[in-house]
Structure 1
Amino acid sequence: MSVSRRGFLGLAATTLAFGGLSQACARTGVDYVNQIVGYGDLKPDPAGIFDLPEGFSYKVVSEFGQPMDDGLLTPGRMDGMGCFPAGPGRVALVRNHEIYPADLERSAFGADGALAAKVAADRVFDVRNGKPFAGGTSNLVWDLRAQKLVSHHMSLAGTMLNCAGGVTPRNTWLTCEETTQRAGTQGTRDHGWVFEVPANAKGLVEPLPIKAMGRFRHEATATDPRTGIVYLTEDMADGLFYRYLPNDPDRLLAGGRLQALGLKARDLDIRNWKEPSWRVGDWQETVWIDIEDPESPGDDLRMQGKAKGAVLLARGEGLFFGNGEVFIACTSGGPANHCQILRYVPSPHEGKAGEKDQPGRLQLFVEPNHPDILSMADNIAVAPWGHLFVCEDKGLGQNQLKAVTPKGEVYTVGRNAEPAGMVKPVNTELAGACFSPDGSTLFLNLYSPGKTLAITGPWKSLRA
C-alpha cells in the first residue's frame, strides 16, 4: 500500500523528533526536551488521586468495593475498558477485572464468597472450591451531561486475569484472559480465551469462549470495522501478533482462521534488544502465517509461529484501531526496554488473495530513548482528534498518562498524585483509557485497588 502524503509527513516528523532528541541527550546528558507542552503543567490534586492540567477535572465514576445494582460488589484490579454510545447524553462502559481465581477479596462476591449465591451457575465460566473464579467484566452507564453514574453490574463471571480487550463495530467488548491455565490446576476448565460482552448487557452474559481466536496469554484486540478482522496481542517477551479472519464478522463464535504476522525481511528482530537494526520511521512489508490447532493444549502457538517465520514482539500489550491503522504497544521493546509503539497499515486486500501483491506494512512509530519521555506503554487509545493516548505501567515509579501526536511528539496529560502525608505517589498502573464518542470525556482506570475516573476539560485547546 502506498504511503499517503499525510502519512509521509508524519513519518518524517517522527524521525526528526526522536532523532533530534537523541542529539539533545548527547549534548546535555540530562535535558530530555523533546516533550511538547501539550495542555500545560500538571496541577497537584488536592484529593491526592490524579493530577491534571489547569482547566481539567475528574469525577470518580466507580471504585472498588462499591455495591452495584445486582447486589454484588465492584471488583478491583480494573484494567482494559471500552466506551460505547448508550442513548442521548449517555455512554456505556465495559470494564475488565484482572483478578486471580482465589482472590475473592478483590472480587464481586465478597471476601468470603457469600455473594456468589446471587449468581446462576450457568452464568459462571469456572469455579474453584465451589466459588466462581474472581475475574470477569462489569458494565456501567454514565450520564455525560449530569456527570453521574446511572447503573452498574457484573456482566461476565468465572473467568480469570481479564487483562485488556477491544471494542467491536457491533457495540460489544472482547475481553481477554492473560493466562494459559489448564483444567485441574485450580478450576475445571482450560483458560486463555477471548469472550464477547455486549455493551447493553442487562446482567451476566452466557460465558462462551471464542476458541478459534486461540488459546494463549491474550492481552488486547482491535477490530477493523471495514473488514471485521480482529487483531490480537500476546503479552510475552517472545509473543506474536495475530489476526483472526472470521467466517462471519457478525458471529465470531462461528469460527475462523488464526494467523501470525511475519515480515518479508525474515532476519529482522523488531524488538531492537541486542543490535538495534530497525529505525524509528522505517516500514517493513508483512506476510501472514497460518496457525494450526488454535486451541493449543500445549500452549505452543508462539513457538509454532516462530518456527514458521513469525516476527516476535517484546510484550505486545495495548492495541487500538484508529484512522485506518492499528497501533501496537510493546511494553519492553527497544534497546533499553523502555517500550515501542508500532503502527500496522492493513493491505487494501487484507486477508484476501490480492494481499500478496499489496501487502500490509509495519512501522516502528515510537521508541523512546529515556523513561522520562515514555515508559512501559500498556493500554492505548486513539482520541477523536487523532492523538494516541498511552497508559504507563512502570511497576515502580509514578505512572503517567501520555499522548503522542501524529508527528511522534510526546506530551503528558496526567499522573498518579502524591497524597498528603505520603512519601511516594500512589503506585498503581494506569489502564482502560477510552473516549466518549463525542470526545468530551476521557475514562481512565487506576488499576488497584481500583477507581474509574471520568476526565473532562478543554480537550480542543491543545497548546502543542
Structure 2
Amino acid sequence: MTIDRRNLLKASSAAFVAFAALGSGSLTRAYSANPGRRLVPDPQGLLDLPEGFSYRLLTQTGKLMSDGFATPGRPDGMGCFAHPTMANHWVLVRNHENWANIDHGHPFTDASKGLAQFDAARIYDARREGDPFFGGTTNVVIDAASGEVVRDNISLLGTAANCSGGTTPWGSWLTCEEQPLKVGEEDAQRAHGFVFEVPADATDPVDPVPLTAMGRFAHEAVSVDPESGIVYLTEDDREGLFYRFIPNERGKLAAGGRLQALAIVGRDSADTRNYARDWSRGSAERIEPGKAMPVRWIDLEDVESPEGDLRKRGFAAGAAMFTRGEGLAYGSRGDGQGAHFFNCTEGGADHTGQVWQLAPGKDGAADMLMLIYESPGADTLDLCDNLAVTPWGDLMICEDGRGDNYLRGLTPDGAIYDFARNAHEESAEFCGACFSPDGGTLFVNVQEPGFTYAITGPWESLRSA
C-alpha cells in the first residue's frame, strides 16, 4: 500500500549540537515549543504522523522477494547506504530477529523457493534435522527518485536473533546475534552470540563468518568511530557491559583485535542503572544527568568463552554495569568532535529508559561518559530501544513499550516529542530507524506484523527551537 509521498528533502547542513545536562523533558514542554508536532490519525490505521508527513509501506513479512524467497519475519535493526554501484539508489540492510525457538516468518514458504534451492554452504548453522536458524539479514535496494523497491534478497542466513547492529564507514552492515546459544542448545551445531559483516551491495547470501574476536554475548548494536575505526558495542542484558573493539587492521574486522569493557574512573564496578531501591539503600550511587565522567577501558580475555560469562568477569574486574544496552549510533557534535549515543532500555528509577553519550577523548585525553536523559515514566518515554541521530541534531528513538509504541524525538535541551505512533498493533515495537544518505527519508520497521516503512515530510519543522 502506498500513501501519498512528499518530495525528498535535502539533508540539513547544520552540525549536530552537543547534548548537555539534559533533565526530565516532557511531552508538554516539547509540544508547547512546537504545536505542529501533534500526530494526525492515519485513516489506514497504520502510522499516525505529524501534519505534512506521509509514509510508504515498502515490504512486509511473507511477501516474495526478488530472489524468490519470502521476506523473513521480525525486521529489526537496519542501516541505509548509498548504493556502491547503482547511481541514485539506496540499500537497506535489515536484520531479522528470529529466535531459535520461535517462528515469526521464514523465507521458505509454500509460495516461495524451498530450502533445497538455497546454497547450504551459505547457511551459518542448521539444526540436525536440517532446518536452518532463521535469523539473518535481507538487502533491499530502493530507487531514490521514485521510492520504489527494485530488488530485495537474503544476504545472511542461519544465525540466531539478529537484533540490531550498525553501519561501517567502509560500506557494510555489522549484524549482531542477541541469542548466545551454546552447541547443543536448541539443537544448535555451532556456537552463537557473534557479530557478522554484510556488504551493502550483497546480491546473494554472504559467506557467514563470525567475528569471534568481538566477543560472544547478547549482542545488540554497534557504532564505528569514523576517525579511529574503533567499534563500540552494547549488550542486551540486565547486568550487561558497554564494550569497544580495537581492530588489528582498520576496516578489516575479521583480522582480529582487542575487546575491552568500559569502567568509570574512580567508580569501579559502578551500577549505572539508577534504580531507586539501590541508591536509596546505599548499594549504588545515583548518577545525575549532565555529569561528564572520565572512563577507562579494561582488557578482556577469553572473549568467546562457551560459558557466556564475559559480563560477569568484566564487572568483577571493575567494568560498569548497564541494564539492557540497546540502540547505539554515532553523531557529529557542534564543537567538531563526535559522540556515540546509546540507550539502556530498562535503566532509570522508573525502569523505563536511559540515554547516554560517550565522547571519545582527543590527544590522549580520557573518553567522557554522560547520562543525558532518564525517562521519568512510560507516558514520556517507554523502553527506548533502537535510535538514530537525525540530520538536524535530535535523537530519534524507537520504543519497545508495553502499551502504544511511538517514535519519539529527544532534543538537545532534553525535551521529548512524539513523531509517530504505531496505530496498527498496540504492542508492536518500532525498530531499525535510519535516515537515507540525503537525510530526506526516515526508514523504520514495525516488528510485528513485519512492516518496513519510508517516511518523508517537512523535516525542517522538527528542528529544535
User: Does TM, scored on the shorter chain, surpass 0.5?
Assistant: yes
The answer for the alignment partner of 1:309 in structure 2 is 318
Q: Structure 1 residues 8, 85: CA separation in 2 closer, same or farther (over 3 Å shift)?
A: closer
Moved more, 238-247 or 260-269: 260-269
Say which SS state the counterpart of residue 226 (structure 2) adopts: coil
The answer for the alignment partner of 1:389 in structure 2 is 396
| Alignment TM-score, normalising by the size of structure 1 | 0.89
Structure 2 counterparts to residues 43-82 of structure 1, below 5 A: 43-82=40-79
The letter of the residue matching 1:90 is H
Offset at 1:110?
2.2
User: 1:107 and 1:8 mapped to 2: Cα distance?
Assistant: 42
Is 2:349 aligned against 1:348?
Answer: no
Q: Structure 1 residues 102, 110: CA separation in 2 closer, same or farther (over 3 Å shift)?
A: farther
The answer (yes or no) to whether the contact 1:263–1:284 under 8 Å persists in 2 is: yes
The answer (yes or no) to whether the contact 2:17–2:393 under 8 Å persists in 1 is: no
Structure 2 counterparts to residues 149-160 of structure 1, below 5 A: 149-160=149-160
The answer for the alignment partner of 2:100 in structure 1 is 101
Structural RMSD (CA)? 1.9
The answer for the alignment partner of 2:11 in structure 1 is none
The answer for the alignment partner of 2:273 in structure 1 is 271
User: 2:28 and 2:97 mapped to 1: Cα distance?
Assistant: 36
The letter of the residue matching 2:295 is T
Offset at 1:426?
3.3
Unmatched tracts of structure 2, length 5 or more: 1-14, 280-284, 333-337
The answer (yes or no) to whether the contact 1:139–1:152 under 8 Å persists in 2 is: yes
Offset at 1:378?
0.2
The letter of the residue matching 1:92 is V
Structure 2 counterparts to residues 174-213 of structure 1, below 5 A: 174-185=174-185, 186-213=187-214
Say which SS state the counterpart of residue 434 (structure 1) adopts: strand
Larger RCO: Structure 1 or Structure 2 (Cα < 8 Å, ≥ 6 residues apart)? 2
Q: Which of the residues 372, 386, 403 maps onto 1:365?
A: 372
Offset at 1:72?
0.5
- Residue by residue, what CA displacement relative to the aligned partner does 1:55-110 show, whole Å, maximum 9, x if unpaired? 11100111011101111000110100000001433210000000023545611122
Offset at 1:427?
2.0
The letter of the residue matching 1:208 is V
User: 2:373 and 2:353 mapped to 1: Cα distance?
Assistant: 8
Offset at 1:8?
10
The letter of the residue matching 2:38 is D
User: 2:339 and 2:295 mapped to 1: Cα distance?
Assistant: 14
Q: Structure 1 residues 165, 7: CA separation in 2 closer, same or farther (over 3 Å shift)?
A: closer
- Residue by residue, what CA displacement relative to the aligned partner does 1:373-424 show, whole Å, maximum 9, x if unpaired? 1110000000112211000001x20000001112222111001115xxxxxx
The answer (yes or no) to whether the contact 1:104–1:112 under 8 Å persists in 2 is: no
Say which SS state the counterpart of residue 33 (structure 1) adopts: helix
Moved more, 270-279 or 287-296: 270-279
Structure 2 counterparts to residues 4-23 of structure 1, below 5 A: 10-12=19-21, 14-15=22-23, 18=25
The answer for the alignment partner of 2:414 in structure 1 is 408
User: 1:70 and 1:300 mapped to 2: Cα distance?
Assistant: 40
Q: Which of the residues 325, 335, 351 maps onto 2:349?
A: 335
Q: Which of the residues 29, 34, 58 maps onto 2:29?
A: 34
The letter of the residue matching 2:69 is L
- Residue by residue, what CA displacement relative to the aligned partner does 1:288-309 show, whole Å, maximum 9, x if unpaired? 0000011111111101101110
The answer for the alignment partner of 1:449 in structure 2 is 449
The answer (yes or no) to whether the contact 1:262–1:289 under 8 Å persists in 2 is: yes
Structure 2 counterparts to residues 236-275 of structure 1, below 5 A: 236-266=237-267, 268-273=270-275, 274-275=278-279
Say which SS state the counterpart of residue 306 (structure 1) adopts: helix
The letter of the residue matching 1:55 is G
The answer for the alignment partner of 1:26 in structure 2 is none
User: 2:330 and 2:452 mapped to 1: Cα distance?
Assistant: 23
The answer for the alignment partner of 1:27 in structure 2 is none
User: 2:234 and 2:78 mapped to 1: Cα distance?
Assistant: 16
User: 1:169 and 1:393 mapped to 2: Cα distance?
Assistant: 28
Unmatched tracts of structure 1, length 5 or more: 1-5, 22-31, 419-424
Q: Structure 1 residues 112, 158: CA separation in 2 closer, same or farther (over 3 Å shift)?
A: farther
The answer for the alignment partner of 1:295 in structure 2 is 304
- Residue by residue, what CA displacement relative to the aligned partner does 1:110-130 show, whole Å, maximum 9, x if unpaired? 279971112111100000121
Q: Which of the residues 420, 423, 426 maps onto 1:417?
A: 423
Offset at 1:314?
1.1
User: 1:140 and 1:346 mapped to 2: Cα distance?
Assistant: 33
The letter of the residue matching 1:160 is A
Q: Which of the residues 383, 399, 410 maps onto 2:405?
A: 399
User: 1:442 and 1:332 mapped to 2: Cα distance?
Assistant: 25
Q: Structure 1 residues 208, 35: CA separation in 2 closer, same or farther (over 3 Å shift)?
A: same
User: 2:199 and 2:439 mapped to 1: Cα distance?
Assistant: 22
The answer for the alignment partner of 1:133 in structure 2 is 133
The letter of the residue matching 1:390 is I
- Residues paired across the two proteins, number: 431
Offset at 1:7?
10
- Residue by residue, what CA displacement relative to the aligned partner does 1:433-459 show, whole Å, maximum 9, x if unpaired? 000011110000000120000000011
User: 1:160 and 1:334 mapped to 2: Cα distance?
Assistant: 29
Q: Structure 1 residues 64, 347: CA separation in 2 closer, same or farther (over 3 Å shift)?
A: same
Q: Structure 1 residues 8, 99: CA separation in 2 closer, same or farther (over 3 Å shift)?
A: closer
The answer (yes or no) to whether the contact 1:103–1:134 under 8 Å persists in 2 is: no
- Residue by residue, what CA displacement relative to the aligned partner does 1:277-323 show, whole Å, maximum 9, x if unpaired? 21111111100000001111111110110111000001100000111
Say which SS state the counterpart of residue 296 (structure 1) adopts: coil
Say which SS state the counterpart of residue 131 (structure 1) adopts: coil
User: 1:454 and 1:388 mapped to 2: Cα distance?
Assistant: 18
